[in-house]
Structures are given as structure tokens and as C-alpha cells.
Amino acid sequence: MAVHVIGGPASTALAERISRELGNVPFAIPFSKRFPDGELYVRIGGRMNGEDVVLVQSSRTDEDLVQLLLLEDAIREAGAKRLVVVVPYFAYARQDRRFYPGEPVSARALTRHLELDADAVVTVDLHSALTLEGFTKPVTEASGIPAIARLLRERPVDLLVSPDKGGVDRIKRLAELLDKPWMALEKKRIDSDHVELTLPAAHAGEIEGKQVVIVDDVISTGGTIVEAAKLLRKSRARAVLAACTHGLFLRDAFERIKAVTDELFSTDTLLNPAEKASVAPDIAQILRKMVPTLE
């Protein structure tokens, strides 16, 4: 039985890397366009009767989400036996609970729709484990940390830094993979775009002369990373790098971070100018366990 990897418009390059990691299984890019009225159109090539299909499509925008759902339906219409949907970046995952009456739980609403035509789902570094609870079908959350570790092994690194205590588990895992020391900054949020960061008293003298890497799961507006880099520079770090799994880089975030760091990179869950580390090997490893024909 054949296995096909289909790369949605938002994740074509990553999907091709995954197909190569799986032993160069057949890889296809669907055709997509917009009708004059603005509606989206997608089409996959040929029949897939009885085949296993892996669809890769991040969902950064609403357009990405609609394309994802249309592609799932197209693959089922083509006769696929099993469909595993890989959503490297899962949009709306940060809206995982209701704070005011009348609000939806957006993450839950999208999991319901996403898994309708899927037999299993793979995603990467969700904002919260609560999102996983919305799935009724098998779901696996990959981590971007191994990809970041593979890249950092090629660079001199003295100290790993989490911009807040919420990232302690993430930075500890990276520290274990690289056998490097780590620390977490103390963060006080002022508003959606501004934070105040301080060094823990116990680590006040540990920055000077060191090459430091700030690691986060998502970089969106970049405010936290910019302030962290400035603090580390003020503490006489020799070099400051910044890394993340999901590089959203909203507005001028990329330029602002580049201005205060020596290097900025992300994984390839999203298309962006900083993607240098690939999660393809880690996703492929998960898929081999999910799809019997890949064993």
C-alpha cells in the first residue's frame, strides 16, 4: 500500500522535507486558487484509493484553516484509507478557555472540525496542553526543542535562557540535550506589547563574557525577546542569540529582534526569514509509529 505526503500551501517546503525523511515517499503539491468572488479552491491530483495520506498544513491564517479543511475533504473524496493531518503551527491554540460569558473556546472548536476527516493529528509545541483535551481522535504533540538542539550543536553556547518561568520545562529539556546550564528570567507583563524582565538574584553574575541563547516557543510581537536581549547585553553577555519553534514575527518584530541579537532563528513550522532548523525528522519519527505502511 502506498503512502503519499501532500504539502498544503502553507507548509509545502516542510512537507517535502518530511517526505524525504520518510524515505522519499511520493510527494505532491495541490493546486489552489481563488474564485472571482473570493472563495478558495483546491484540487489534489488523481485517486488515492486505499492509500495512506499525510497532509501537512500549518494554520497561521484563516485562509490556511479553510485550505486545510478543503484538502482533508478532497483527500477523503479521492478514496484515501487513512489520513494523518500534520498541523505544525496550530492557530487559535492560545484561546483554550473562556474568560467571559458568550466567548467560544476557539481551540476546542477548531479541533472538532480539524479531526472530522482525520484519523490522527500531529502538531508541534502547542501553547497549552488544554488544546489536546479537545481531540477525540489520536493526537501527538511533537517538540521543536530537538530541532533547535541540532542547530545549536553547531554553535558555541555557554548558557540557555528562558524569558520567563513558564518556559522552564522547555529550557530544561534543551539543557539536557546540549548538556549546558540554564536559567529563567523573571517577567512582569505591563500590557500586550510590553514586559519588564529582571535577572534572578541567584544568577546575577553568570552572564558576563558568555554566549547566551534565549529560547521561546512562539515569537509574535517580539517584545519579550527584545527586552530579554537588552537585559543580557546590559549584563555584559559576549553574544546573544534568540531561538523559537514558531516564528510569527508580527509587524516589525523580526527587524527589532535582529537589531539587538547576534543571530535569530526558528524552526520551519512557519515560513519566515529566520527558519534555519527543521522539525521534519521529529515529525517523520512520529509518523512511522502512526502509519503501519511506513514501518
Domains located in the chain, CATH noted: 3-143+279-294 (3.40.50.2020), 145-277 (3.40.50.2020)
Q: 55 is written with which cell numbers?
A: 497532509
Please, which pLDDT band fits residue 294 given cuts at 50, 70 and 90? confident
d(CA 212, CA 240): 5
Q: What is the reported pLDDT for 128?
A: 78
Residues 201-210, mean pLDDT to the nearest whole number: 83
Residues 138-147, mean pLDDT to the nearest whole number: 96
Give the strand pairing for 52-56 and 82-87: parallel
3-state secondary structure the chain: CCEEEEECCCCHHHHHHHHHHCCCCCEECCEEEECCCCCEEEECCCCCCCCEEEEECCCCCHHHHHHHHHHHHHHHHCCCCEEEEEECCCCCCCCCCCCCCCCCCHHHHHHHHHCCCCCEEEEECCCCHHHHHHCCCCEEEECCHHHHHHHHCCCCCCEEEECCHHHHHHHHHHHHHHCCCEEECEEEECCCCCEEEECCHHHCCCCCCCEEEEEEEEECCCHHHHHHHHHHHHCCCCEEEEEEEEECCCCCHHHHHHHHCCEEEEECCCCCCCEEECCHHHHHHHHHHHCHHHC
Please, which pLDDT band fits residue 106 given cuts at 50, 70 and 90? confident
Contact (CB, 8 A) for 130 and 97: yes
Contact (CB, 8 A) for 175 and 182: yes
d(CA 7, CA 277): 18
Contact (CB, 8 A) for 160 and 171: yes
Please, which pLDDT band fits residue 193 given cuts at 50, 70 and 90? low
Average pLDDT, the chain: 92
Residues 118-128, mean pLDDT to the nearest whole number: 93
d(CA 215, CA 197): 15
d(CA 293, CA 56): 18
Residue 1 scores a pLDDT above 60: no
The 10 Å Cβ neighbour count of residue 222 is 26
Please, which pLDDT band fits residue 127 given cuts at 50, 70 and 90? confident
As annotated, the active-site residues are 187
- Among the ranges given (116-120, 160-164, 203-207, 238-242), the one the predictor scored with the smallest mean pLDDT: 203-207
